Amino acid sequence: MAKTQGTLAGRKLRGFFDVPGTEVSIPYTDVRGAADGPTLLLSGGVHGGEYPGIAAAIEIARRLEPGEIKGRVIVLHLTNPPAFWGRSQYYNPLDGKNLNRCFPGDAAGSASERMAARVIAVLREADYWIDMHGGDIHEALVPFTIFSDYGKEEVRRTAQAMAEAYGIPRLIRSASVAGGSYAAAAELGVPAILPEAGQLGQLDPCNQGIHEQGVLNVLRLLGMLSGSTTLHLSPQIYTRFVWSRAPQAGFWRSRVHPGERVEAGAIGGVLHDVYGDLLHEIAVPETGEVLFAASSFAIGADDPLFAVAAP
Ligand SMILES: [Zn+2]
């Protein structure tokens, strides 16, 4: 896997990846270690309102020096600039699509599909991917890390080791999510994780720190940075991650909170119409732990309401 960094070894480069056929430019920092080693892609802001992951990407890019790493770290500071500047939840305002359902993308498609294709072109130079997320502007969330249980055995095993090293004690072993980053990576044989920390449109230092420490830990695990990784000895591994979605648009009141244990069949929240008449009681689908819940009063048809994880 080791690759030579060529004449750019020992340099830190800044620039933009232009997305052909759009006005979008994705800012990056490319840290080329003085010593050879693998390449890791680190992305923040695939969803533009998940601020701690974006701030962590900026901080890691500033902090990593070529002299201290083996190999190369490519940081995408803000992968979805239109969603960030538009303060848009889930969706890219240029085409109304969720970028994390567009991978591996299409260089001749809509804006999000073209952006996804550009990111995958960068990923083709990488051996590992960390795609930092969090609860969106209207989502309360307790931190967790998803790793792909898809593709070759070695890729899956490495993805799980990366997820454990990231340090968040809740892990989700996930089969393929169509269009998702880690599934597209697994297709290419690249181990990938999707850590989630942050919530409710807040840029809080605690969740930013969870991401920063997690990235440094994974770099240590991969031998790209010196020092030892602090491992949680017994992370909770969930294999089921069940999302409840709104059967129709309405006025939402959640009755569950992230981190809370819930029983299948309990009422997870209620949806009313504009006159306050009840439209739906949303039952908890599974006994387990709530990992996120929508805080927004306004909910569109098919929007995620809350999610429960179970072993
Ligand atoms: Zn996200």
3-state secondary structure of 92: strand
Query: What pLDDT, on a 0 to 100 scale, did the predictor assign at position 261?
Result: 98
What is the pLDDT at residue 97? 97
- Record the tokens describing residue 37, joined without a space: 């080693």
pLDDT of residue 83: 98
Report yes or no: 191 and 148 within 8 Å, Cβ to Cβ.
Answer: yes
**C-alpha of residue 268 to centroid of ligand 1, in Å:** 22
Domains (ranges, CATH) in the chain?
6-236 (3.40.630.10), 242-310 (2.40.50.100)
Q: Identify each DSSP E strand in the chain by its residue range.
A: 12-18, 25-32, 35-44, 70-76, 91-92, 97-98, 128-132, 139-141, 144-148, 170-174, 192-196, 236-238, 240-245, 250-254, 261-262, 267-272, 278-283, 288-294, 298-299, 304-310
Q: Which one-letter amino acid corresponds to residue 3?
A: K
How far does residue 240's CA lie from ligand 1's centre (Å)? 18
Distance 130 CA to ligand 1 centre (A): 12
Specify the pLDDT at position 221. Answer: 96
Q: How far apart are CA 49 and CA 42, in angstroms?
A: 17
Please compute, for residue 36, the number of CA atoms within 13 A of its CA located in the half-sphere on the CB side. 6
User: How close is the Cα of 133 to the center of ligand 1, in Å?
Assistant: 4
pLDDT under 50: residue ranges of the chain: 1
The pLDDT of residue 229 is 78
Centroid of ligand 1 to alpha carbon of 4 (angstroms): 33
| C-alpha of residue 2 to centroid of ligand 1, in Å | 30
35 CA from centroid of ligand 1 (Å)? 33
pLDDT at residue 249, rounded to an integer? 98
pTM for this entry: 0.95
